[in-house]
Homo-oligomer: A and B are copies of this chain.
Amino acid sequence: MSTIAITNVTLIDGLGGLPRPATTVIVEGDRFATVGPSDSTPVPEGATVVDGNRRWMVPGYVNGNVHLLDAWMFMAGPGTIEYLARWEGRYVEVIEEAAQLALRNGVTTVFDTHNAIEPVLAARDRINAGISQGARIFAAGTIVGMGGPFSADFHFAGRTAATRTFVDRIDSMFEAGVGHQLSLLPRKEVRARVRDYLSRGVDMLKIAVSDHIVFTLVDRSVGFDRSYQTFSRPVLEVMVEEARAAGVPVLTHSVSVEALDTSVELGADVLIHANYTLGQEIPNYLIDKIVASDSWAGLQTVHDQHRQGLEDVGSWAAALAGEPYATNERNLISANAKILLNTDAGCPSKDHLADLSPVEREDRPWTIGNDHFHWTQSMVEKGMSPLEAISAATINVARAYGKADQIGSVETGKLADFVLLDQDPVDDIRNLRSITEVFQAGAAVDRAALPTTPLVTAHPA
């Protein structure tokens, strides 16, 4: 068992306390063994020593909401056919590529909350088994109640340009028996379907409390002017019961005030993009209800400069980047809601990025590997302190998902996931980018070697 000592480092342990200068952290095997002042913490004999002088140590970043296959693009539409056709049969590799791009940028764990179940579980298992590299993955598979990439929930228009055989094959792979047709079923049948789905080994259950189709079907020129509930209240309660019985966390997808309120009433563990309440600010009574609850609020944020850029070029995404969402973020932050990193990021194709204007590509919040930097910057902009932002991107995610005994902070006994920086993130949150080394479970990551076999990021040559 190897031993590593990081000496004289300024430690930001993720738990929110002040940075501790001159700290020594001893890693034994894959775990943190000792954390203490350098002057009272001896370096074990035989340890590999990493000089932490003029360095800052933060826990490995943990992202509470990614879609490693680029589901954001499925929602945008154009490019989805190309992406899914070009890489068909190689989705496991694409997911791993995305996980490697995350890891290269210090994200040691991700929670993938929407993906094709088989490849994402396969990639998870391959990374866990050390067969492949990448951020550690926990996966929900699909969002229960949502259709595949070519359903009305995403790129329905793609059906006019694709073979039905192909789109049906892909959609089935994503829907996994709990797609949008579930909305038609009686509560008893839903229970059976969800129970069966949970038995496939997913790490959490994500429920579509809101519908999704207004994002994609309605001409965005009329605005997001409606939002529905995918399921009746009794059906939602059935799903939560099944998740509880299976011992996995419950996540909710909501985009309206009432769907958010319903999610809180259901006792969801994580309210994914809780700030998305189309067109309406979250009322004060609901802010209070969230704070008083046990639910964690994922926020999906765009910083001001990028939002302005999206508006300037008339990007449809601007509609998801402005008010009332920023106000919701500010209000949740100032009310001390329990907040976590949540980005929807995935591995975008180069052609998709090339279609965008420079201002849309630059520091893009939905590109894996950049997303958490964008997010933490935006959170500080919206009212968090840098230390709060770091906690929101580390320990909070672990707590929300019930993994705080293993990850999310630099504490004795936890997995030794950490990042070393050479500029002070408390001084400027953007310094989270100043990574010099990434360690995952006690092992130094060869960042330059990631991604190991670029596919998506290497096409076209």
Tell me the A residues contacting B by CB distance below 8 Å. Answer: 77-82, 85-86, 88-89, 147, 152, 155-166, 169, 180-181, 183-188, 211, 213-214, 217-219, 222, 225-235, 256-259, 261-262, 277-280, 283, 286, 349-352, 354-355, 460-461
Contact B231 A152 (CB under 8 A): no
Q: Do the beta carbons of B158 and A161 come within 8 Å of each other? A: yes
**Residues in B neighbouring A350, C-beta threshold 8 A:** 165
Besides A163-B354, A188-B283, A213-B213, 14 more A-B contacts (Cβ < 8 Å) are A82-B85, A82-B163, A157-B160, A159-B222, A166-B351, A184-B257, A185-B280, A186-B258, A186-B261, A213-B217, A228-B230, A229-B229, A229-B231, A233-B262
Q: Top 10 nearest A-B pairs by Cβ distance?
A: A228-B228, A161-B161, A165-B354, A82-B85, A232-B258, A163-B351, A180-B226, A233-B233, A229-B229, A79-B163
Given contacts A163-B352, A163-B354, A165-B351, contact A228 B211 (CB under 8 A): yes
Residues from chain B with a CB closer than 8 A to the CB of A147 are 226
Contact A227 B184 (CB under 8 A): yes
Return the contact of A262 from the options B77, B155, B169, B232 (Cβ within 8 A). Answer: B232
The answer to whether A161 touches B157, judged by C-beta atoms less than 8 angstroms apart, is: yes
Q: List the B residue with the shortest CB-CB distance to A222.
A: B159
Given A184-B256, A228-B211, A232-B233: A161 touches B162 (CB 8 Å cut-off): yes
Residue of B nearest to A208 (CB): B228
Given contacts A85-B86, A166-B351, A234-B258, contact A184 B226 (CB under 8 A): yes
**Contact indicator A169/B217 (Cβ below 8 Å):** no
A355: contacting residue among B85, B164, B180, CB under 8 A:
B164
Q: How far is the CB of A216 from chain B (nearest CB, A)?
A: 10
CA distance A155 to B161 in the complex (A): 8
Give A369 to B258 CA distance when docked, in angstroms.
42
Is the CB–CB distance between B162 and A78 below 8 Å? yes
Q: Which B residues are in CB contact (< 8 Å) with A180?
A: 225-226
Q: What is the bound-complex CA distance between A225 and B234, given in angstroms?
A: 20
Q: With a CB–CB cut-off of 8 A, which chain B residues contact A77?
A: 160-161
A183 lies within 8 A of B256 (CB): yes
Give the shortest distance, in Å, between A104 (CB) and chain B (any CB): 25
Q: A81-B162, A183-B256, A186-B283 are in contact. Are A229 and B226 (CB under 8 A)?
A: no
Distance between Cα atoms of A160 and B267 in the complex (Å): 41
